[in-house]
Structure 1
Amino acid sequence: MREAEKVSKLMMLPRLRRPGDGDTGICFEYAVHDAVSRGDQAVTERIGDALRFCKVPGDEVGSILFGAEKAGSQQLIDTAAELLTNDSSLLSGSRGRPVKLKRHLTSAAAAFRKKGRGGDLPQSISGLWRADLFLGSVETDYWIGTTVKINPAGLQGDRGLRVGVVPASQGKSDRIVRDERRNLVICPLPYDGSFIETFYMAWEVVTSFLAADAQVPKEVSLPRPAARTVARYLADRRDYPVVDVIEALGSLAQPELLRTEAESVGIVLAGGTSEVVETSAVLAPVARLL
């Protein structure tokens, strides 16, 4: 991160930002990656189920952000390379030995810029340039190419991709299924009272705050009192550097105050068979007993 970015004040963010149609989708990719990296149980358990579906060995779920299409993409690619080892292997789902992922990152980025034409990627992973994340096991160092779409209709399968992460549809089944047409394992993330609802509420607060020039928006923009409270937290810190504000507000999150309870979740396996697994779901924030 450049020094100027480290000291940019929060009140400057609305003037530096250039809104785009794909902003929500890009932020969703970052949010999924961050949730896995932080160990957000509502997300990691779903991702873990999808990895088991793809027969990825190991239990400790990890995420590496690829992001070849994003601003500062070279820095992201360099960071991804640093997180991988020379033994990091990509499981493509095809027969044969897994390829070593680190040596193909640059080729995947080059293939993205050419939209897949004339790339130097092995045939078995020729579609890897479409990946947003590499999900896998930190413990065994096996990874799979993953596409993340906030709009499920935008999912597109390709060689080198194994999993598609999308929001679960409200009121519909959120089972992990194999999409034979796209050749992807579809992993819907939980909505009501969980990760996706939190993401959209946060998106509403942040975009309204930026549209109000880093001030508390009008009540019509944020009618829920809780959302206005979060916007007020931000506005109170508008004269401080962005990175410092993020760190300061992080201490207010207190994820340890969430309690979980085991429940059964159905997973549809290849061939139409189903399997019931035990998982833990966040129920509600409760105060710890002193």
Structure 2
Amino acid sequence: MSQHRTALVTGASSGIGLTYADRLARRGFDLVLVARRTDRLEQLAAELTRDHGIKVTTLTADLSTETGCRSVEQVIADDASVDFLVNNAGMGKLGALSDTKVDDLATLINVNVLALARLSLAAMQAFTKRGSGTVVNMCSISAFRAVAGGAAYSGSKAFVLNFTRSLNLETRGTNVRFQCVLPGPVKTEFFAAAGVDDSLFPAGSFITSEQLVDAALRGLDLGEEVTIPTLEDASSFQTLAEAFTQLREDAGREGIIATRYRT
């Protein structure tokens, strides 16, 4: 899968991002690791270099800020070896929206939506010029349901799903690929960072970051555009997608107000 190519992974200092870094290193990729915690990045870089003999570059960046996004965009644009992007950085901030500080809401949207969209755009433009490339956008099964106590989070993930699927339509017939990965609960630091206890879900609902990333990479190898690692019947998502497409057609085919709204 790799011939001295470079993968850029955001949110790489722990959990899912760290596991992606490890698995891509095993596949022979050089790495650019992006996160806010410099000490963890440097420790991980040293370990991956030692264990896999690859080149690892670290970039400390806060993707909730303009400066942080620009620094990563610049690497994607300037480093011609980068042809694999994992948009893994994300935030939870679970709880009633009425109790949420506006700055926290803005930070979540900046990271989960704006930064992911900006880096996807930067990669799309760079990879198109280079002739090929892959973008993995980390999503969540929360994208499928409105959630009390998770309005901003589930809304941001619904954006990621539609956004990524749309980009696949735009790049169809080229060698630029987008994959949307939708995990359920994963044993990481996510819940603690989001301000809730992981007892929110039954213990049997959790998978490990290793299980998630191995399944996601297998899905990528299989050519999947949408990968839901814990969904046994993949056709059920296709059925849902087709139903939404039909709903859109039914709602938009004729410009006639529905009977129930007419007096």
| TM-score where L is the length of structure 1 | 0.31
Higher strand share: 1
| TM-score where L is the length of structure 2 | 0.33
Greater RCO, 1 or 2 (C-alpha within 8 Å, sep 6+): 1
Which of the pair has more CA radius of gyration? 1
Higher helix share: 2
